[in-house]
Amino acid sequence: MSRKPNIAIVGATGMVGTTFLKVLEERKFPYDKVYMLAAPEEDGDVVKFDGREYRVEGITDQSFDGKDIDIALFSAGGGPSEHLAPIATAHGILVVDNSSQWRMDPDVPLVVPEVNPQDALTAFDKKMIIANPNCSTIQAMVVLKPLQDKYGLKRVVYSTYQAVSGSGVKGTHELAEGMKGNDLCVAYPHPIAGNCLPHIDVFEENGYTKEEMKMIDETHKILGDDNIAVTATTVRVPVFDSHSESINIELKTPFEVEDVKKLFASSPGLVLQDDPANNVYPLARSAAGTDEVYVGRVRRDFSIENGLNLWCVADNIRKGAATNTVQIAQLVIDRVTA
């Protein structure tokens, strides 16, 4: 029987890091030792996990020395990940990284467990890093994969409505203050309360934002098909938690709407909520605090052949970040403890 792994949480005091701990507890993730690492200025802070209190260690280049860590769950941002992940892997540690730093590296698998679990195992033959996709990409992949397998995908158009928690604590604080009439405009260039901002991350030379390009590029990589035509518009909305997405899809082969609904109802990680007559469809408030991806408003797009419209919602901090990362760790636990 394999031993229990030793795990490290890098970024243990942040919004995603604390959710790592919550999800690990809820899923009864097996472990022997756990190490809490965070920014140097947080050295000595205390976090609670599994009924105990743990002292946080300010991370340095030497933080992985002598600890016999098997898996490190990173949520410390792209810069720290770029520097520290290779140091961790040099110690034989498998890194599951939540930043955007490694996602498009050809030697790093980009994994959604319901979609491409087999790709996670390739990390052991390459850089010992597995990348967690962008939050808005993750929930879309859970919906698109069963459609790809049954009908084929020709074109995908994303329109997202993304919660402020995607910007971390500063985003939620800014919305809370804005709702009181105090527009801070620190996390965002314009007030978020009462607004929809078609601007997530920086603008690139092609006119798209970096967030939109992440969705395009990550869709191709995760689904393993660069021939799918993909475009995206990503919008920050005054919602605290859970991202919502309208997805327009052109399938390669004909379909019946009821068959698509049955497919979704039987697909892992998906919950079908589609009863318009009774006002049943996925909602951000209902998805918050859960790990599933919810899909509804499933209907034919009559403007194109084999066109399909749908609406999907998921908690961006849980399934869009922490839960997906923990699920990846669960996929590879036997390999790291063998």
Q: Which helix (H) or strand (E) holds 104?
A: none
Instruction: Inform me whether the pLDDT recorded for 50 exceeds 80.
Output: yes
Model pLDDT, residue 317:
97
The domains of the chain are located at 7-132+321-337, 136-316
Q: What is d(CA 309, CA 232) in angstroms, rounded to the nearest whole number?
A: 14
Contacts of 227 (CB under 8 A, 6+ apart): none
Confidence of residue 242 (pLDDT cuts 50, 70, 90): very high
- Exactly one of 185, 196, 199, 243 is catalytic; which is it? 243
Model pLDDT, residue 1:
40
Dump pLDDT digits (tens) for 14-24.
999 999 999 99
Q: Are 254 and 306 in contact (CB under 8 A)?
A: yes
Model pLDDT, residue 337:
86
Instruction: Inform me whether the pLDDT recorded for 157 exceeds 80.
Output: yes
Confirm whether 7-132+321-337 and 136-316 share one CATH topology. Answer: no
**Stretch 62-78: mean pLDDT, rounded?**
95
Dump pLDDT digits (tens) for 162-204.
999 999 999 999 999 999 999 999 999 999 999 999 999 999 9
Dump pLDDT digits (tens) for 274-295.
999 999 999 999 999 999 999 9
Q: Report the DSSP pairing between strands 34-38 and 7-10.
A: parallel
Dump pLDDT digits (tens) for 103-143.
999 999 999 999 999 999 999 999 999 999 999 999 999 99
Q: From 6, 20, 17, select the one nearest 323 (Cα to Cα).
A: 20
Which listed CATH number (1.10.10.60, 3.30.70.920, 3.40.50.2000, 3.40.50.720) goes with 7-132+321-337? 3.40.50.720
Model pLDDT, residue 338:
77
The percentage of the chain sitting over the pLDDT mark of 70, rounded to a whole number, equals 99
Instruction: Inform me whether the pLDDT recorded for 2 exceeds 90.
Output: no
Topology of the domain covering 136-316: Dihydrodipicolinate Reductase; domain 2 (3.30.360)
- Exactly one of 135, 173, 185, 312 is catalytic; which is it? 135
Q: What is the dihedral of CA 61, 67, 69, 75, to 10 degrees?
A: -40
Residue 243 appears among annotated catalytic residues: yes
Instruction: Inform me whether the pLDDT recorded for 96 exceeds 80.
Output: yes
What does pLDDT average to over the chain? Answer: 97
Distances (CA, A) of 318 to 41, 100, 133: 26, 17, 13
